[in-house]
């Protein structure tokens, strides 16, 4: 949902926004919402921006939020630099 909103704001299509960060956020969301906040093996293997081991509580700290937002900003700025 948010990737589509970001894309529209930038006059792009959702499919033009391709960054690992969006996939990583999806894995985090799935664990929080559908796995009672417990990390899965998929989350452990595929998410690099915030590290969790299978079975750990998925707890996002303020510094994690800053890093996630910074990564998204870097990616979006890179789209403008590519022009």
Phi-psi label, residue 55: left if phi above 0, alpha if psi -120 to 50, beta otherwise: left
pLDDT at 24: 94
SS3 state of residue 47: coil
Q: Which of 83, 82, 30, 23 is nearest to 58 (CA)?
A: 30
pLDDT confidence band for 83 (50 / 70 / 90): low
pLDDT at 10: 87
pLDDT digits (tens, 9 = 90+) for 29-47: 999 999 999 999 999 999 9
Average pLDDT for 63-73: 94
């Amino acid at each position: 949902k948010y990737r589509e909103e970001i894309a529209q704001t930038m006059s792009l299509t959702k499919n033009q926004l391709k960054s690992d960060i969006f996939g990583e956020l999806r894995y985090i969301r799935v664990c929080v919402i559908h796995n009672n906040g417990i990390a899965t093996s998929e989350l452990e293997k595929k998410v690099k921006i915030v590290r969790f081991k299978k079975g750990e509580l998925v707890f996002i700290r303020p510094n994690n939020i800053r890093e996630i937002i910074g990564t998204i900003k870097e990616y979006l700025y890179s789209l403008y630099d590519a022009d």
